[in-house]
A and B are shown apart, each in its own frame.
Chain A
Amino acid sequence: MTKPRRTAGLFAGLATASAIALASLSTAQADDPIRIGFIDPLSGPFANVGDAGLKHFRFAADRINEEGGINGRQVEIVPMDNNQSASESAQLVQRAADRGIDFVAQGNGSDVAGAIIETVNRNNRRNPDNKLLYLNYAAVDPSLTNERCSYWHFRFDADTTIKLEALSNYMMERDDIEKVYLINQDYSHGHEIERRFQDLAAEKMPNVEIVGTQLHPIGQVRDFSPYVSRIRQSGADSVVTGNWGNDLSLLAREAEDAGLDVNFYTYYAGGLGVPAAIGRAGVDRVAQITEWHANVNVDEGHDEYREWVDAFKERYPDIDWYFHRVYNLMYMLKAAVEEAGSTDAEGVAAALSGMEFESHTGTITMRADDHQMLQPMYISIMDDEVEYDSENSGVGFRTLSRIEVEDATSATTCEMDRP
């Protein structure tokens, strides 16, 4: 007696399960949220970096939702922990596609970014009904918009070539920069900076002499004093470095302790624990090149955006609104979805490609040729008398120079396959 009944129960269960599965497989309903898969390290040694990014995305999504969402649909950020691993990220992209997520965002690590591009390309080729877009908010390897460029990839940060181009345009104008020393981490990012900067110096900076280059292992050096001695012996007046995290903090603090009189031009002095670790040792000494910093709002009077930055700080007191590009990314995505009328990847990609957008810093363009964002850049230096400090360190950034879009651009060799 019991046996048939159990089978019947099993069938009923299976039927219910498949009904649920079918319901979730069916195409997105008009009132379903628009989901963005956020793929970055959320555990392990780089957890703080990924976590900060996630908070930026969540905050921007909440703002958009408060304003009525996109086409009346809410935005939802789906966190996906990739452990900073390229292969895990590829699996996560696949999983996102299976779950019917239309957009994936990622930023940390160009190796990871490369793997995501390949997976997205493959998915879009094989599943034309379920295409994905990859929104890259921080991976800066130039090859991602050159040799390996893809129609489905959009980069909202300036790549290394553009940052160095902008920096060299600034250095050309300055006559107190004569001798430059390059110190970088010994991996693709550092190699790229070393190579490109030397090319640029030879090409357009006759006033600048490169007095030394140095690669050091990433994340392993505890004592930077020998490096600082070398910089001093080289007679350099400026140091260019792509170092981030402790590799930058320790270097800058060591230089301060030794009384080394040089300026540091960096990519990442404004975040990832560096301002907290360097503090006052970096005042008038450590500069960064970024697409924005908090005191731009003060200088240029962006009151609305100041309210945004303040609200973020109130919600997450430990960190600051740092990725202006996440704002650009989310609002450009909103504009693109509204223009396309749906979240269909092909339509949104077509709208994003070549899109001009009024950001706080001016008109920014997603270049159609390679999907690289072109935007004004700021060179700013640490200052302890500015209105906004970073990471509660008492030290913030003061703009040295604003590089307009025309001077912050680079050629591309991208030849992408367009649908």
Chain B
Amino acid sequence: MALDSKIPKGPIADKWTNYKNHIDLVNPANKRNIDIIVVGTGLAGGSAAATLAELGYNVKAFCFQDSPRRAHSIAAQGGINAAKNYQGDGDSTYRLFYDTVKGGDYRSREANVYRLAEVSANIIDQCVAQGVPFAREYGGYLDNRSFGGVLVSRTFYAAGQTGQQLLLGAYSAMNRQIGRGKIKMYNRHEMLDVVVVGGKARGIITRNLITGEIERHAAHAVVLGTGGYGNVFFLSTNAMGSNVTAAWKAHKRGAYFANPCYTQIHPTCIPVSGDHQSKLTLMSESLRNDGRIWVPKNIKDVEAIRNKTLKPKDIPEEDRDYYLERRYPAFGNLVPRDVASRAAKERCDAGYGVNATGEAVFLDFASAIQRYGKEQAHVKGLNENDAALVKKLGQEVIKNKYGNLFQMYEKIVDQDPYNTPMMIYPAVHYTMGGIWVDYNLMTTVPGLYCIGEANFSDHGANRLGASALMQGLADGYFVLPYTIGDYLSKDIRTGKIPTNTPEFDEAEKNVRDRINHLINNNGTHSVDHFHKKLGKIMWDKVGMSRNAQGLNEAISEIKTLREEFWKDVKVPGTNEELNEELAKAGRVADFLELGELFAKDALMREESCGGHFREESVELDGEQKGEAKRDDENFAFVAAWEYKGEPSDAVLHKEDLEFVDIELKQRSYK
């Protein structure tokens, strides 16, 4: 099947408006006869479910958590971008569009990104109207901060809990519709298959995680807002339950999987502390507004720090290497995430890592505390030369901005970041790849839509900070509710979709067979045993830097591990109860397939772009020496993989990326 992105004709700034003016609509009376399933209740799924219900459709929403409010969007910290230009610093729709395409290293689809930038301002209006308590200035107006990869301040925030506040906003919109009976909410339910009838997505199979009951749910369309697949690495900043299962089942039913190798390794996470580690914790990118990243210049100081004979604050300025400021003077500590992560790895690989494992760099707030402290002393008419006073006042400012992050850090690491620099290291955070969708956010299966992190469309090979929240809400509140209507306008005479059909029988049987296999396997190793092994292969060979040899090894190792898993995994208990090991086993089984496709995609892409760094493709000389080298001639395409059985048999389809409004050039942050 040839890929058709269905991008509307016309100038980029008019595409979305023209599209909305010419699509077919469903009248309010007919909407009452149409059912839509939404899987996942994060920013994308939650906002979509609420909006579709408001429009009049009958929505069934599903989440595996005990409440929709707990979806992992809740953990997003720093903020949400919007081209409001409240700061008057030169921001515009075009500039947000441009920054996002450039930040994504020219591997995203122009039309989708422009639309995202266009609706971004509406998100802020909407959220304020629904009572989201964004940070404000003393005059009562909204405050902004700056994020990596941009030269303006366009990020709206609610301390370090922006994701929480936005998700609670979407959850409140859902609650209103649940109360009205327009959304039927299924908590603690996991989607285990998509049902395709006559070539169209017409339902899903779920497992009730409390009772083990396998259920059939039918609808005229199915929407997946099921998040990213970073947990394929075992250790990531994702929640423990975040998984690829819904997306992977969709893939197996005909949805192409796009750019699986595009993964964001976030530069500022708390380093690994030991083998018991179950997940990693992010320290928001917003900290790079005020924190300066450094390692010692001299290896003897590195050793002294590791031996704890020297404190970081006792190393004089001239002996510190603020390597981001040194290498990228224009953007400094606010370079994009992929660049910052690789730079940290480069210093640590060279032996300058500052903790016992050698995998950590400093993020230091001392100069920001000084700067803010002096400012406050000046404002309050106090003595600007009183060091203790300045420090106290400065710490108060930092506490107001990042208090919850500092507290999290202190609880985990047992050090006080107000007085000693944080230690950070890159960790898997977000996946730009995902299910391929067209301009309508529809997958290659008609009637099956994919929104938010679960799709591939807007961030190219690297996502800019504070853009994930923007995309989730844009897709759910403002894009999907229009595009899905155009599709459903052809379904107004279809009537209820029955569940007693051979397609539902077959899908349910598949699900039951697989569960029975896992429960009766009586192997010798736990699910986590296999998940940890998979994570190690992924991190070592498909992680921050990749080469052909390592990727080939990873492909064969993952295949072997998958075979071992099916022979030897041990799942205690039964299906007919709350059985977390069983739920985990199903998710890890899917990660073991995705992981191989991920490595295969990384092997195919012989260029470096964004978060995907191929050691064979670097600039060899000139100003950009050592930086990632993109290959636009051969790789300016989206890789969309079609399922054919084993991941090794997946067939590659290419969607060529055309850059009409933005000139393709090398990303420079120098």
Do A and B come together as binding partners? no
